[in-house]
Amino acid sequence: MNFTKPRTPEKKERRKNKQKFNSVSKLAVEAIICCNLISCGGDKFQTSGSLAADASADHFQSDAGAVDSETPKDSAPEAALESGPKDAAHDVPDSPVVDAPGHDSPMLDSAVDATVDSSIVDATDSSVDATQDSASDSNSVLAGYSFCRTVTSSDAVTLPSDYTHEISFSGNQVDFETLTVLSGTCEAPDSERGFFVDGDTVFVRSETPDELSYAFAYGNPAIQNQSSGEAAFLFFEDFEAPVLDMSKWSVDTGSDPGNCGTQNFSINGGIFQIEAKSSTVYSCEHAIATKETFSPPVKLEFFDLKHPNWGGTGDSGYYRNSTEGFEGSTERAYFTVNEHGRLTYANASQSPDNSFFDPANPFDLTLVWKDDQAQPTVNGTDGYPAVFDTPASSLSIRIEVSNWKVTKPSGKSELGEIRLKRWVSEDPTYNIGVEQSL
């Protein structure tokens, strides 16, 4: 699945608005539930501890009472049985009264009552124990949460342990601000998973192969905004900090920075800007690259990407370069805009021109890097792939601009966000379970 939603430079404020709770207040829902519990009898909804045992026992005893009432018994013999010890001759009458049709026997009633009571107690104890064990396992993990949805997939897909699931909750009410995601189900939750919320879509990072079941728990006032891109993706950068995070990035000023009159980068309103302007007729370069390297197969996504000094044809497009993609010491796979057009490179080999969009306007770029090629997609439209001469093993993410003529506009790029996730040939589809009250 591609991230093809168009974004604007105002993405920071819009993303904050999208992540706000998007439905009726849970407080109102909880108030309605509380009213129902009071009017319907709260004991029906007690599910743990001795209260659950009492409720279950009351239910079984009520059923047994209903069976007994269908066959009225003579109250006098019962009174006689309860009056105290009796002579053995009186306990077993001479006449076969027990076998007489339609005649109630105190001895038979006593035996039946004892049997029923014993079976009820055994069944109740067993049921209550099982219920308590199950409730205890679930409640200990989901304590404090008000609601839960189980999300599963039945697709026959093979997924790596570090796969990022993309799950849409469109049309399903979820309080994302108090959300916690766990592997397993609402009935049997396991351990927490990292996740990231974008609008009504949640990205969840798995930790074991072929992980296809999750519990989405929410409504816990102690939990606030646990969404984290770093926890959900192999790499994530949203440029929300006022300065570049140098624990993630290294800076490359090129082989001869003395050629540059302008060579800088900045962050404004969640948009990263990088620029290079030659002071001579020689090349001036400026780049940032991730300190971490990554291996295929992966999907690299750039959002709100823009090359403002590009556009048009002819000489207006010469003498500057803007590049995004993967690069190592000898191998590379990247998408570039330069004097030859909009191209995809793999090592020294370039694709035909991908001139189906104007890079001076914001666009989203995806590069799927498999073992032997890099496939670009711009705003949902596939471009020409570039094929490696030799498959690369581990590359960093690189953003580079250059300029090599003082009389021409600078090489310049603007960028809003980067995500890297594991790529698979077929992404799973998901079933969103009903909201359960906890």
Residue range 235-292, pLDDT digits in tens? 999 999 999 999 999 999 998 999 999 999 999 999 999 999 999 888 899 999 999 9
Same domain, 197 and 340: no
More confident residue, 384 or 65: 384
Confidence of residue 108 (pLDDT cuts 50, 70, 90): very low
pLDDT tens per residue across span 328-355: 887 888 898 876 678 888 877 778 887 7
How many domains does the structure of the chain reveal?
3
pLDDT bin (cut points 50, 70, 90) of residue 38 is very low
- Same domain as 305, residue 199: no
**Co-location of 149 and 100 in the same domain:** no
Q: What pLDDT was estimated at residue 138?
A: 56
Dihedral (Cα; 182, 4, 369, 425), 10-degree rounding:
60
Tell me, what's the pLDDT at 346?
Answer: 81
Indicate if 264 and 161 belong to the same structural domain.
Answer: no
Q: At 399, which CATH number?
A: 2.60.120.200
Alpha-carbon dihedral of residues 23, 26, 27, 33, nearest 10 degrees? 120
The answer as to whether 31 is a domain residue is no
Residue at which a domain ends, from 105, 140, 175: 140
Spatial contact of 406 and 279, defined as CB atoms under 8 Å apart: yes
pLDDT at 7 over 50: no
Instruction: Kindly report whether the global pTM for this prediction surpasses the value 0.85.
Output: no
Tell me the C-alpha distance between 54 and 58, whole Å: 6
Examine residue 60 and state whether it is found in any structural domain, yes or no.
yes
308 and 188 fall within a common domain: no
Domain membership of residue 368 (yes or no) is: yes
Residues 280 and 350 in one domain: yes
Give me the residues paired with residue 373 across strands: 387
Within a domain: 259: yes
Do 252 and 229 share a structural domain? no
Say whether both 392 and 274 belong to one domain. Answer: yes
The predicted model gives 192-216 an average pLDDT of 97
The verdict on 375 and 289 lying in the same domain is: yes
Give the structural domain span for 116: 46-140
Of 299-308, 326-335, 364-373, give the lowest mean pLDDT range.
Answer: 326-335
Residue pair 175/227 in contact by the 8 Å Cβ criterion: no
Q: What is the C-alpha to C-alpha distance for residues 256 and 254, in angstroms, rounded to an integer?
A: 6
